[in-house]
Copies of this chain bind each other. A is one copy, B any other.
Amino acid sequence: MKADILRVARSEFARRGLTGTRIEDIAAQTTTSKRMIFYYFGDKESLYEAVLEECYAEVRGGEAELDLEGLPPDAALKALLEFTFDHHRRNPEFIRLVMIENIHEARHMKKMQALAAKNERAIGVVEKICRAGCAAGLFLPDISPVALHWQISAMSFFNVANQATFSTNFGPALFTEEGQALLRRSAVRGILAAVLKDPARIDSLCPATPGGSESAG
């Protein structure tokens, strides 16, 4: 019952934002009533926070499934980016909730205690790769894991978050399967180039060219 409400609420909040969502609309798609929503969650904002928290847990939980053990640092970094890129594409509701949080200056996210551990883990993954990369002499020294995470996030997030305006302005080509594959490769290439000591290694890791057809050399 609570789960039912949360499921519908997530969809509505993701679609319409915090103020744009109406409790009545959520109730209408639920087996319960409007009254029950207040009974279980107190008020609209608390429901929204519950949705946000649950969604975050789920998504960050999904990230834990990624196993980079055994991969060389540069391949691991590549895998991490590709995973994040795909992961964000598969979770548009999560992306939208984060967009909405940013509209609200992360006001609700700041209240969420459970986040700290999850975020540290996310950075931990990048940090580990960086350390290994430096130790192996592959990466430039003094790479900031947080900056690297920022760069990975930027492209993976923007790709989903701004699809509507970007394709309105510049056409839908980038959001077809081929377009997405292209963007993903460009992103990998950019990230690796920003990190590798010897840029020549890039070509062995990602043979294709960014923004170009497969044929390029």
Contact = CB atoms under 8 A, between A and B. Distances in A.
Interface of A: 16-20, 96, 98-106, 109-110, 115, 119, 123, 140-151, 153-155, 157-159, 161-171, 173-174, 179, 182-183, 186-187, 189-195, 199-200, 202, 209-213, 215-217
Contact of A151 (B143, B163, B171, B187): B187
A155, A194, A199 pick with most chain B CB within 10 angstroms = A194
**A interface, over-half SS:** helix
Nearest to A105: B164
A180 to B, nearest CB: 11
A177 B103 CA distance: 22
Contact of A142 (B153, B155, B179, B215): B215
B165 A106 contact: yes
A109, A146, A191 pick with most chain B CB within 10 angstroms = A146
A167 B153 CA distance: 13
Tell me how many chains of this kind the complex includes. Answer: 4
Contacts of A146: 170-171, 173-174, 211
A147 B102 contact: no
B150 A217 contact: no
Given A119-B169, A154-B159, A157-B158, A202 B211 contact: no
